C-alpha cells in the first residue's frame, strides 16, 4: 500500500462548516473585495480597516466547528500504519486543529496569530489586534499584521512542504480550486516524484489533469467514505 500521505486542503473542505469559499462567493470574502483586505498595499494604506476585517473574520472562524471531512483526517492519522499523514492547508481557519488533526502546515497563515513587521516575531493573537497593540518582541506599536499571507508575499513553511511532496506516495487534494499558485502545482510535483494523486471537489478543476482520480461531490460525504476504504486496504 501507500507510504507517506499528503492531504492538501482548500477552502472547500471548510464550506460544510459554514465558512464561505472565496471563489464561490463571486470573488468576495465575507463581503469584502480581496484587494481591500489581503494585499500589503491595503494594509499599508488602511491598517485599521484590515485589522477590523480580520478581527471580525476571527470571531466567525472561531465559532465554526469541524465537519466529517476534517474528522476523517484524524481517523486516518490514528489508523494508518504505512507512513505519516501530513495536512498542508491553504485555509486560515483552525478546523484541522479543532478536529484533532496533527502534522498541519498552514502555508497561507492562520487567523489566531499576528506577525510583527519590525522584528518578525509571531505571536498568539486570538483576541482583537489593532494599530495600538504592542509587539511582545520589540515593543513597537502599529507593526503587527495578521499572520495571513497576503497576495505577493512568500508562503510559509515551503521548505518542509517541498520535502513532503518529494517523499509522499499519495497526494489527496480536498476542496481546492487549483487556481491559487503554488498550491496548484503540488499534485504535479508529487506525481513527478511517483505519488498517486486524487482530488475531491464539487466539480472538475482547472488542474484536474494532474490527478489520477477525481471524486465529485461534497467533501463531507465523499472524503470520509474514501478514508474508510483506504484504512480497510492498508
Q: Which parts of this chain interact with ligand NAD (CB under 6 A)?
A: 10-12, 14-16, 19, 21-24, 29, 90-93, 108, 175-177, 179-180, 200-203, 205, 218-219
Q: How many CB atoms lie within 10 A of CB 77?
A: 18
Return the number of the residue (4 or 68) whose C-beta is nearest ligand NAD.
68
Report the nearest approach of ligand NAD to the CB of residue 90 (Å). 3
- Closest contact distance (angstroms) between CB of 200 and ligand NAD is 6
Residue with cell 471563489: 23
25/131 with CB nearer ligand NAD: 25
Query: At residue 116, what are phi and psi to the nearest 5 degrees?
Result: -85, 125
Cell (9 digits) for 91? 485555509
User: What are phi and psi for residue 202, nearest 5 degrees?
Assistant: -70, -25
Catalytic residue among 46, 70, 108, 193: 108
CB closer to ligand NAD out of 1 and 179: 179
Cell triple for 86: 501530513
Task: Give min distance, CB of 110 to ligand NAD, in A.
Answer: 9
Question: Residue 77 or residue 90: which is nearer to ligand NAD going by CB?
Answer: 90
Whole-number Å distance between alpha carbons of 180 and 200: 16
What's the chain's length in residues? 234
Instruction: Decide if 193 is catalytic.
Output: no
User: In angstroms, how far is the first alpha carbon of the chain from the final one?
Assistant: 6
Query: What are the cell numbers at 31?
Result: 463581503
Beta strands in 21-65 (DSSP E): 28-29, 32-33
Catalytic residues: 108
Amino acid at each position: 500500500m501507500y507510504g507517506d500521505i499528503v492531504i492538501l486542503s482548500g477552502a472547500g473542505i471548510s464550506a460544510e462548516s459554514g465558512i464561505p469559499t472565496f471563489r464561490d462567493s463571486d470573488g468576495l470574502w465575507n463581503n469584502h473585495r480581496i484587494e481591500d483586505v489581503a494585499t500589503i498595499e491595503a494594509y499599508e494604506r488602511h491598517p485599521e480597516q484590515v485589522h477590523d476585517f480580520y478581527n471580525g473574520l476571527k470571531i466567525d472562524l472561531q465559532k465554526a466547528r469541524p465537519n466529517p471531512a476534517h474528522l476523517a483526517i484524524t481517523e486516518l492519522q490514528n489508523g494508518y500504519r504505512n507512513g505519516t499523514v501530513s495536512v498542508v492547508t491553504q485555509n486560515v481557519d483552525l478546523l484541522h486543529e479543532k478536529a484533532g488533526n496533527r502534522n498541519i502546515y498552514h502555508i497561507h497563515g492562520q487567523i489566531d496569530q499576528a506577525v510583527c513587521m519590525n522584528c518578525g516575531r509571531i505571536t498568539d493573537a486570538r483576541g482583537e489586534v489593532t494599530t495600538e497593540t504592542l509587539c511582545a518582541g520589540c515593543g513597537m506599536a502599529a507593526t503587527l499584521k495578521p499572520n495571513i499571507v497576503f497576495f505577493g508575499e512568500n508562503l510559509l513553511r515551503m521548505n518542509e512542504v517541498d520535502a513532503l511532496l518529494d517523499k509522499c506516495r499519495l497526494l489527496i487534494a480536498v476542496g481546492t480550486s487549483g487556481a491559487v499558485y503554488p498550491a496548484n502545482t503540488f499534485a504535479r510535483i508529487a506525481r513527478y516524484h511517483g505519488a498517486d494523486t486524487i482530488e475531491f471537489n464539487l466539480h472538475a478543476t482547472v488542474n484536474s489533469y494532474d490527478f489520477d482520480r477525481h471524486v465529485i461531490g461534497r467533501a463531507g460525504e465523499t472524503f470520509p467514505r474514501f478514508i474508510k476504504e483506504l484504512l480497510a486496504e492498508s
